[in-house]
Structure 1
């Protein structure tokens, strides 16, 4: 399994709810997407970014299908105009259910 974590700092932090809504529209786009959680900065909790995506894919092929999906590409273009910084980490996860 592949964990796909993306964090964004926005040009305008007030855009975080709209940014989240756009990301949420990418949920369940492809087979093999096992987890898709979007969080936004909350007052009173420590944060260096405004929005985070934590997602999990069955394998690298499922992640690749997600990244190349036309809807994901369109959303990514819209999000790109709203972001100041983007950080990504993809890593292998051991399946603890086996």
Structure 2
């Protein structure tokens, strides 16, 4: 499985709850998303991001298909102008958990 982690910092932190709502609505529309968890930051420290999203995919090809999906592209058009910063980590876990 491929785990896709995205951290988002918004120019206006008030956009984070709407982004969460839109992301959660996206999951059932895109078959290449095997699972999704979206969380909002609760501490608001100087190094905090406002939102985290973790999705799982069968592999890199499925992640790429998700990223090209029309529903994802529409959401990205809404998100990008609102982001101050974003960080991404994609990791693969083998059957042994490594």
Task: State the TM bucket, normalised to the shorter chain.
Answer: 0.7 to 0.9
- Structure 2 regions of 5+ residues with no counterpart? none
SS in structure 2 at match of 1:95: coil
Q: Residue 70 of structure 1: CA displacement? A: 0.5
- Contact 1:32-1:59 within 8 A present in 2 as well: no
More helix by share: 2
Q: Which string of whole-angstrom CA distances, capped at 9 and with x for unpartnered residues, describes residues 37-96 of structure 1? A: 110111488961000101110111211110000010010110111110011111111235
What corresponds to 2:38 in structure 1?
38
- Contact 1:3-1:90 within 8 A present in 2 as well: yes
4+ residue stretches of structure 1 with deviation over 6 A?
44-47
What corresponds to 2:28 in structure 1?
28
SS in structure 1 at match of 2:31: coil
Q: CA RMSD in A?
A: 2.1
What corresponds to 2:65 in structure 1?
65
What corresponds to 1:93 in structure 2?
93
Normalized against structure 1, the TM-score is what? 0.86
- Structure 1 regions of 5+ residues with no counterpart? none
